[in-house]
Amino acid sequence: MYEQVSHSLLNEILNKLETDISKQDLRHFYTRLGSNFYAIHSLFSRLYGDRDDFKEQAQLLVETMARQYINRPEHLMQLDIEREKDHNWFLSQKWVGMALYSHGFAGNLAGVDERLGYFQELGINLVHIMPIMRCPEGHSDGGYAISDFREIDPRAGSLEDLETVAYDMRERDILLVLDVVVNHTSNEHQWAQLARAGDPVYQDYYYTFEDRTIPDRYEENMPEIFPQTSPGNFTWDEEMGRWVMTVFNNYQWDLNYSNPAVFIEMLDVILYWANKGTDILRLDAVAFLWKKIGSTCQNEREAHLILQLLKDCCQVTAPGVLFIAEAIVAPVEVAKYFGEDAVIAKECEIAYNATFMALMWDAVATKNAKLLNQGIKSLPVKLDRATWLNYIRCHDDIGLGFDDSDIKLVGYEPMEHRKFLLEYYTGNFAYSLARGLPFGQNDKNGDARIAGTLASLVGLQAALEEGDPTMIDDAVQTILLLHGMILSFGGIPLLYYGDELGKLNDYSYHDDLGKSDDSRWLHRPTIDWQAAGNRNVSGTIEYRIFSALKRMIAVRKEIDVFADFNNRALIEVENPNLFVFGRYNATKQAESVLVVANFNNLPQQLNLDNISGWSRNQGCQLVDLVSGQTPDLEEEVLTIPGYGFYWLGELM
Ligand code: GLC
Ligand code: GLC
């Protein structure tokens, strides 16, 4: 949009551009800057407009974008243009992702590069390699405490290794996802070191205070994220002689985005990784980006403005690059990270669907789909050009992040119900086969979250200990059922490494001082490639899970209505054990697929005659697209086996 104030500022900025910038061919840069500058200017001035140096900061901002545009490799510029033309590319059902630690998956980046064939074998074409930037030797929160944003941690490899992986992935049509930890740095980062040494410029990069007056006021409303290992939100730094805000671990210093220098530095980091060939950047802990006394310091309006500004700026330099919002927050808050009141995502194109994840864990524990159905009803509608990342497990804990009001609506008492779920998954409940551990227990309010691998949480570990084939079958079925959901729900399914092989909990972290206080290491496995070879040996657990997933992934890619165009309808049915939804193509009714999932251990029935919004075509044969078989159907009454699911389509 053309608007006088921003346009005249833009002219001023362009006239003052350094000659090393202005003499370059900046054609695409100028057109994109022109179209986004009104928004960039309004956001930047909303955040930093009352500063005396506002104009200089705006100049720096534009120069940062321009320099990274000049650095952008030619093939990535081409890709930007291709994606501009095919702007819905990421909504396609052909994407299937996996998240992994390079060290756990294959030792390091070079190991990952050697294993690219494994992804293709399974059908994975989007790989999230978790943090690989330089981090401290001991405690580093699994790499989420970064000490250098532009270097690869030597344990993972080198920048060349990353460039090789990025190149080889692109050759194989696999998308690369990397993290940018935008909310904080490690206390070993150079900025923190300079702040410690007393440099006021860098003390302003963080929230530091000489005494407890302000920290105490913040604390009144701030929850604790890691109450066991890092209680409170501030840490006294002896060397600096000041308190510093540390919302996560005490060695993770929160960046201060009320300082434009921080914003510009982090934008530069984002564009730097975009230029290294990253297709999608996962922005970590975005809900925490803005701190305000009197608030929980999560989901603040300004956190959204910062994300919008990052998006607008990234679109100028590297428009083909997408953002994932890692905001593990309440259902109504999550959808806001796509950006409000828009068609296209104004903030992040992709967001973790933590609501769906937590609800599925509720269904597994209760063996019914009551809360799952209710919770999905309250999942906010998302924008057209935005999508969910649907997952079952990840490297983090499972938080029971659904609404108390939904829990009440289905007839449970919220406190009691949450207590039941925790006890169920930590193996303290009479009939539970789950082998999880609590994470982040907070004795002050009784909160806790859950750690454990998918296989161990659904009872495979217990079943193998007992050597009970029926229990083993149930656990394997549950693993497939849950994957059947993320592969059909709408959005990008994100598998977690090891789950495709049925990896059990790994207790070895107990012996590692850098990890022993963090039970999330229970579910961050090291792949044993010899054992992984069992995926090709019929009858093994690895084979049963891997081969079934492989088939489901291949089938998903062929089902057009699984692309995410807000084309899902939840279907209410009487049987509380079933979760049923339709995926349709708005123009061609005949192409709809009915997904029916049974979260109970016993077979359940569904009468297809009275399913609202879905009708069978006369003379067509019903088929389960996963198995290619006709499901168990008698006079329109479908029987779904215990922990079974169908993707039902019709054959003419
Ligand atoms: C993100 C990461 C998590 C980490 C936290 C703090 O939520 O997923 O593993 O502990 O950020 O960096
Ligand atoms: C909290 C944060 C989330 C993070 C998790 C790590 O839930 O909201 O961002 O992943 O802690 O355990």
Q: pLDDT for 53-62, tens place per residue?
A: 999 999 999 9
Positive or negative torsion for Cα 516, 522, 524, 525: positive
Q: How many CB atoms lie within 10 A of CB 112?
A: 28
Question: How many Cα atoms occupy the beta-carbon half-sphere of 63 within 13 Å?
Answer: 16
Distance CA 59, CA 164 (A): 35
Q: How many CB atoms lie within 10 A of CB 450?
A: 25
CA dihedral 431, 434, 439, 441 (to 10 degrees): 0
The answer to whether residue 284 is catalytic is yes
Q: Which two tokens stand for residue 586?
A: 């708005």
Mapped onto helix, strand or coil, the DSSP state of residue 454 is: helix
Report pLDDT for 407.
97
The whole-angstrom separation of Cα 319 and Cα 331 is 28
**Rounded to 5 degrees, what angle do the CA atoms 458, 461, 463 make?**
85
Measured CA to CA, the distance from residue 414 to residue 541 in angstroms comes to 36
Distances (CA, A) of 225 to 247, 296, 417, 449: 7, 11, 22, 11
Biggest CA pair distance of the chain: 79
Q: Give 234 Cα–ligand 1 centroid separation in angstroms.
A: 17
Q: Which amino acid is at 637?
A: V
Q: Are 515 and 521 in contact (CB under 8 A)?
A: yes
SS3 570: strand
Helices (H), 389-486: 404-409, 414-425, 454-457, 460-466, 469-486
| Distance from C-alpha of 392 to C-alpha of 457, rounded to nearest angstrom | 11
Residue 285 CB less than 6 A away from ligand 2:
yes
Tokens of 577: 């054990």
To which residue do tokens 């545009």 refer?
69
* Sign of the dihedral through C-alpha 221, 329, 394, 88: negative
- From the list 312, 326, 362, 474, the catalytic residue is 326
Ligand 2 site, residue 328, Cβ cutoff 6 A:
yes
Q: Indicate which residue's Cα is closest to atom 6 of ligand 2.
A: 396
Alpha-carbon distance of 575 to 184, in angstroms, equals 47
* C-alpha to C-alpha distance for 104 and 605, rounded to whole angstroms: 42
Residue 164 DSSP symbol: H
C-alpha angle 140/218/211, rounded to 5°?
Answer: 85
Which is nearest to 493 in space by CA: 30, 8, 224, 128? 128
Q: Is 199 a catalytic residue?
A: no
Q: Whose CA is nearest to atom 8 of ligand 2?
A: 328
Compute the distance from residue 427 Cα to the ligand 1 centre, in Å.
25
Which residue, judged by its Cα, is nearest atom 9 of ligand 1? 396
Per 3-state DSSP, the chain is made up of helix, strand and coil in percentages (nearest 5) of 45, 15, 40
Distance, CA of 172 to CA of 335 (rounded, Å): 32
By CB neighbour count within 10 A (0-12 exposed, 13-18 middle, 19+ buried), where does 566 fall? middle
327 lines ligand 2 (CB under 6 A): no
Q: Which of 609, 618, 616 is nearest to 573 (CA)?
A: 609
Provide the token pair at 463. Answer: 């079943």
State how far the Cα of 193 lies from the Cα of 186, in Å rounded to an integer: 10
Q: How far apart are CA 115 and CA 531, in angstroms?
A: 15
Tell me which residues of the chain have a pLDDT lower than 70: 341-342, 587-590, 652
User: Other C-beta atoms within 10 Å of 446: how many?
Assistant: 11
Name the residue with the closest Cα to ligand 1, atom 11: 285
**Which residue in the block uniquely carries the two structure tokens 């999880």?**
436
Is the alpha carbon torsion for 453, 454, 457, 459 positive or negative?
Answer: negative
pLDDT at 652: 66
Q: Would you state the pLDDT for residue 370? A: 98
| CA distance between the termini of the chain | 50
**637-640 and 633-634 beta bridge pairing:** antiparallel
Q: Which residue has 């999942």 as its token pair?
A: 379
pLDDT, tens digit, 9 for 90 and up, residues 420-449 = 999 999 988 888 999 999 999 998 888 899
* Three-class SS state of 119: helix
CA 229 to CA 247: how far, in whole Å? 12
Length of the chain: 652
The residues, any chain, with a CB within 8 Å of residue 235's CB and separated by 6 or more, are 243, 244, 246, 250, 251
Catalytic residue among 141, 237, 268, 284: 284
Please give the structure tokens belonging to residue 215: 């920290």
Of 46, 78, 103, 215, the closest CA to residue 521 belongs to: 103
Residues touching ligand 1 (Cβ under 6 Å) are: 141-142, 144, 181, 248, 284-285, 326, 395-396
What SS3 class is residue 275? helix
Q: Nearest residue CA, atom 5 of ligand 2?
A: 396
Q: Which of 283, 284, 391 to mutate to test the pocket of ligand 1 (most atoms within 8 A of CB)?
A: 284
Burial bucket for residue 628 (CB in 10 Å: 0-12, 13-18, 19+)? exposed
Beta-strand relationship, 593-598 and 645-651? antiparallel
Residue 428: its pLDDT value, please? 84
Phi/psi at 498 (5° precision): 100, -35
556 Cβ contact partners less than 8 Å away, ≥ 6 residues apart: 93, 96, 487, 488, 493, 562
To test ligand 1's pocket by mutation, which of 248, 249, 389, 519 has the most ligand atoms within 8 angstroms of CB? 248
Q: Which atom of ligand 1 is nearest to the CA of 144?
A: 12
* Cα-to-centroid distance, 390 and ligand 2 (Å): 17
Ligand 1 mean position, distance from CA 326 (Å): 9
The model's pTM: 0.96
CA of 39 to the centre of ligand 1 (A): 30
CA separation for the pair 84, 75 (Å, rounded): 14
- Give the Cα separation of 240 and 253 in Å (integer): 13
Three-class SS state of 542: helix
